[in-house]
């Protein structure tokens, strides 16, 4: 696979050079693509915008090569977009003012999520859901251990959406803790199935150790769901502790179990937090049209600067 990587990147560069001749802007997602787009942009004399996400920050903090790629990406891009304020702050510390335009452009949510009608009346079983790759960074094992530690009166079920290298270990952990009947692994699903899944559940849990700005939290909030999430950069910008859900220390099983119990103190709190969550999405204008308008403005800005 490593031997194929130069061919892949070379093919991407060729495609950018070939198709970019008649374009005004090349828009890249993630740092390595930003390097390819940046080289093509310099050769063609056109503007380049790169959007960074949490994975770029995580990899750059761990590997020297990724750190160098990120630095080169910043140097080659005329505009840099962060999907969270944490990423934007990171970029502003590493860019030259007036040379590279840095801005926050948040992802939006689909209208289908905002139309979901939800009622929390006489809940006999609380239906939890978590969505993400089954990899160590996502902390899925923490959720399973928290379910085992939960001592509340209302029974819980958990649906795990996603696939990855940790699936076998997670299934084994569920079996060992007598959770097999309450935990359902459904694998990966198509994006257009997410609204229906969220409507069928009551609370979203995200136990990641690091994130950028998780779309799944935005989607759950738009679907009028309380969110219990790790208290990490990106997540803490979205979840208001005690108002739209709860934040817990990443990896802390006991605190996650206590957060679940706190959420269930009254069913009125579920309704209140869910409604607050949707209201946050609406007040902040986190819909795709707003995202598109902000990108359009950025494209015009970098194009004017390059004339």
Contact 48, 82 (CB under 8 A): no
Cα 302 from Cα 181, distance rounded (Å): 55
The confidence score (pLDDT) of residue 57 equals 82
- Helix, strand and coil content of the chain, in percent to the nearest 5, comes to 50, 15, 35
Architecture in CATH for domain 5-108+287-305 = 3-Layer(aba) Sandwich (3.40)
* Complete DSSP assignment for 238-302: T--BTTTEEEE-TT-HHHHHHHHHHHTS-HHHHHHHHHHHHHHHHHTT-BHHHHHHHHHHHHHHH
Reduce the DSSP state of residue 177 to 3 states and report it.
coil
| pTM of this structure | 0.89
Query: What local confidence, expressed as pLDDT, does residue 29 receive?
Result: 95
Reduced to 3 states, what is the DSSP secondary structure of residue 191? helix
Q: What is the reported pLDDT for 166?
A: 97
Strands 101-104 and 227-230: unpaired
Spans of the chain below 70 pLDDT? none
Tokens at residue 103, please? 């801005």
Q: Which CATH superfamily is domain 111-283 in?
A: Glycogen Phosphorylase B; (3.40.50.2000)
Residue 111: Cβ within 10 Å count: 12
Residue ranges of the chain that CATH labels 3.40.50.2000: 5-108+287-305, 111-283
> What's the rounded Cα separation, in Å, for the pair 59 and 70?
9
């Amino acid at each position: 696979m490593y031997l194929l990587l130069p061919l892949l990147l070379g093919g991407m560069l060729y495609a950018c050079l070939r198709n970019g001749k008649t374009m005004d802007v090349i828009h890249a997602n993630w740092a390595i693509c930003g390097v390819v787009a940046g080289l093509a942009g310099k050769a063609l004399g056109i503007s380049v915008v790169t959007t960074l996400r949490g994975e770029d920050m995580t990899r750059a903090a761990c590997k020297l090569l990724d750190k160098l790629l990120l630095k080169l990406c910043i140097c080659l891009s005329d505009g840099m977009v962060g999907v969270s304020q944490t990423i934007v702050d990171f970029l502003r510390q590493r860019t030259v003012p007036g040379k590279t335009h840095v801005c926050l452009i948040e992802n939006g949510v689909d209208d289908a999520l905002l139309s979901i009608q939800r009622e929390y009346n006489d809940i006999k079983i609380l239906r939890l859901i978590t969505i993400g790759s089954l990899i160590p960074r996502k902390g899925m094992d923490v959720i399973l251990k928290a379910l085992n530690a939960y001592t509340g009166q209302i029974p819980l079920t958990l649906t795990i959406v996603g696939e990855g290298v940790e699936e076998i270990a997670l299934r084994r952990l569920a079996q060992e803790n007598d959770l097999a009947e309450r935990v359902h692994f459904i694998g990966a699903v198509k994006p257009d199935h997410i609204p229906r899944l969220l409507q069928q559940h009551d609370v979203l849990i995200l136990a990641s150790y690091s994130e950028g700005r998780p779309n799944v939290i935005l989607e759950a909030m738009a679907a009028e769901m309380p969110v219990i999430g790790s208290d990490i950069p990106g997540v803490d910008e979205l979840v208001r502790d005690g108002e739209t859900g709860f934040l817990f220390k990443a990896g802390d099983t006991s605190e996650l179990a206590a957060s679940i119990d706190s959420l269930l103190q009254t069913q009125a709190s579920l309704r209140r937090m869910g409604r607050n969550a949707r209201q946050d999405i609406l007040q902040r204008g986190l819909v795709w049209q707003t995202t598109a308008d902000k990108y359009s403005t950025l494209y015009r800005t970098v194009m004017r600067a390059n004339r």
